[in-house]
C-alpha cells in the first residue's frame, strides 16, 4: 500500500468533466492509499514544476491527462534522485503511452487496474536536455501534430489525426539528414524519422514488432517517401524485421544512442509536443522511471 499519493489534474478543464473525474479517481484510489493529495494544475508546465519540486514528498503520483501532461510529469520526475512511481490515468485524446503499457482507456478502469497493479521500471529517452516517454520524431509526424485542427481533435479525436496525416503525406517533401544509430551512420533523404520507445502513435499500434520498453533500446524508423507507397507498406507491414532495408520506403534500426542532423534545423515532435529542433543527440535511459502497470 502506498503511503502518500498525489493526484494531478488539469485545473483548467471543464468543471463538469473535472468533478466527475475527481469523484471517480479519488473513490478508487482514496481507499487504497493512506493519504491522497489532489492538486489542480493551473498552466502549461505546472505539472512538470510540481513533479520536480514536490515529487520527492510522494510514493506515487497519478497524472490524469494525455501524453503532453505525462511528458511534463516525466521531465519533472526524471531529475529526482528517488523518483516516485507514476500512475497514468488516460485523460487526453490519444493517451499513446498508457496504451503501450496496456492501461485500460476508461479512467475508472485505469485507476482500478493501476492501484492493484505492478511497479515496472521503464526506459525513458532524452533528447538533448529534455526527456520523452513515447517518441521523438521529425518530418511528417511534426507536421501532422502541428496540422491538427484543435476543434476537430476534440470532436473526432483520433480520426482528425489521420485526416491531418493523410493531408500532410501529399504535401511533404523529403529532407536530407544524417543519422547515427549507435555505430551505424545513414545519410539519406526521408519524409519522417521516428525514434520510438512506446509502440502506439495517434492511438494506433505501430504495425511493427517493436522491442520492449525495458530493454534500453529504441526503435528507429526512417520513412523515405510518403504518398501511396508509404501507406501501402504501412498497412501491409507485419513486423519491422520483415523489411528489406534497401528495398522498401521504411527502414528500421535499433539503437541506444541516436544522433540526428538535418541540413536546415527542423521542428521536432516529442510525445506530441513540438518545441524542440534538430540537431539532436538522443539517449535511452535504461529503466529510468517506475510506472504502475496493470497486473497480468
Ligand X SMILES: Nc1ncnc2c1ncn2[C@@H]1O[C@H](COP(=O)(O)OP(=O)(O)OP(=O)(O)O)[C@@H](O)[C@H]1O
Span near ligand X by CB under 6 A; candidates 23-31, 86-94, 218-226, 247-255 = 86-94
- The three-class DSSP label of residue 123 is strand
143 in active site: no
Question: x/- string (CB under 6 A) for ligand X, residues 56-85?
Answer: ---------xxxxx--x-------------
Determine which residue in the list 93, 134, 160, 196 makes contact with ligand X, applying CB under 6 A: 93
Stretch that binds ligand X, among 8-16, 52-60, 206-214, 288-296 (CB under 6 A): 8-16
Least distance CB 215 / ligand X (angstroms): 24
Selected binder of ligand X within 12, 167, 187, 242 (CB under 6 A): 12
Residue 11 near ligand X by CB under 6 A: yes
User: Which of 2, 7, 36, 41 lies at the binding interface for ligand X (CB under 6 A)?
Assistant: 41
Give yes or no for a cis peptide into 139 (omega within 30° of 0): no
* Residue 23 CB partners (closer than 8 Å, separation 6+): none
Cell of 110: 485505469
The one-character DSSP state at 56 is G
The string of DSSP codes covering 183-239 is: TEEEEEEESEEEEESSSEETTEEPSS----TTSS-EEEEEE---HHHHHHHHHH---
Q: What minimum distance in Å lies between the beta carbon of 80 and ligand X? A: 19
Cβ-contact 197, 132 below 8 angstroms: yes
Output the smallest distance, CB 224 to ligand X, in A: 27
Position 278 contacts ligand X (CB under 6 A):
no
The single residue among 21, 75, 77, 95 that binds ligand X, judged by CB under 6 A, is 95
Q: Which residues of the chain form beta strands (DSSP E)? A: 4-10, 35-41, 60-65, 85-90, 118-127, 130-132, 135-139, 175-181, 184-190, 192-196, 200-201, 204-205, 218-223, 250-255, 257-262, 267-270, 273-277, 280-293
> Measured from the CB of residue 121, what is the shortest distance to ligand X in angstroms?
22
- For residue 166, the minimal CB distance to ligand X (Å) is 18
List residues binding ligand X (CB under 6 A).
10-12, 41-44, 46-47, 65-69, 72, 92-95, 272-273
Active site residues: 273
Amino acid at each position: 500500500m502506498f503511503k502518500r499519493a498525489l493526484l494531478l489534474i488539469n485545473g483548467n478543464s471543464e468543471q463538469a468533466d473535472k468533478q466527475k473525474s475527481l469523484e471517480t479517481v479519488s473513490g478508487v484510489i482514496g481507499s487504497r492509499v493512506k493519504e491522497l493529495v489532489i492538486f489542480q494544475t493551473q498552466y502549461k508546465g505546472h505539472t512538470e514544476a510540481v513533479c520536480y519540486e514536490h515529487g520527492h514528498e510522494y510514493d506515487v503520483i497519478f497524472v490524469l491527462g494525455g501524453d503532453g501532461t505525462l511528458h511534463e510529469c516525466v521531465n519533472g520526475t526524471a531529475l529526482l534522485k528517488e523518483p516516485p512511481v507514476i500512475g497514468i490515468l488516460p485523460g487526453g485524446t490519444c493517451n499513446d503511452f498508457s496504451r503501450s503499457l496496456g492501461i485500460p482507456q476508461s479512467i475508472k478502469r485505469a485507476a482500478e487496474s493501476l492501484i492493484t497493479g505492478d511497479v515496472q521500471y521503464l526506459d525513458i529517452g532524452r533528447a538533448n536536455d529534455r526527456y520523452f516517454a513515447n517518441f521523438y520524431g521529425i518530418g511528417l509526424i511534426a507536421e501532422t501534430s502541428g496540422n491538427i485542427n484543435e476543434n476537430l481533435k476534440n470532436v473526432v479525436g483520433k480520426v482528425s489525426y489521420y485526416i491531418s496525416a493523410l493531408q500532410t503525406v501529399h504535401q511533404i517533401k523529403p529532407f536530407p539528414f544524417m543519422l547515427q544509430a549507435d555505430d551505424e551512420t545513414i545519410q539519406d533523404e526521408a519524409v519522417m524519422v521516428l525514434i520510438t520507445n512506446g509502440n502506439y502513435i495517434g492511438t494506433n499500434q505501430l504495425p511493427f514488432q517493436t522491442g520492449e520498453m525495458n530493454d534500453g533500446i529504441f526503435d528507429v524508423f526512417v520513412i523515405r517517401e510518403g504518398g501511396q507507397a508509404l501507406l501501402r507498406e504501412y498497412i501491409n507491414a507485419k513486423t519491422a524485421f520483415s523489411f528489406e532495408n534497401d528495398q522498401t520506403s521504411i527502414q528500421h534500426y535499433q539503437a541506444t544512442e541516436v544522433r540526428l542532423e538535418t541540413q536546415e534545423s527542423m521542428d521536432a515532435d516529442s510525445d506530441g509536443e513540438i518545441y524542440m529542433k534538430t540537431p539532436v543527440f538522443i539517449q535511452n535511459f535504461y529503466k529510468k522511471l517506475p510506472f504502475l502497470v496493470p497486473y497480468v
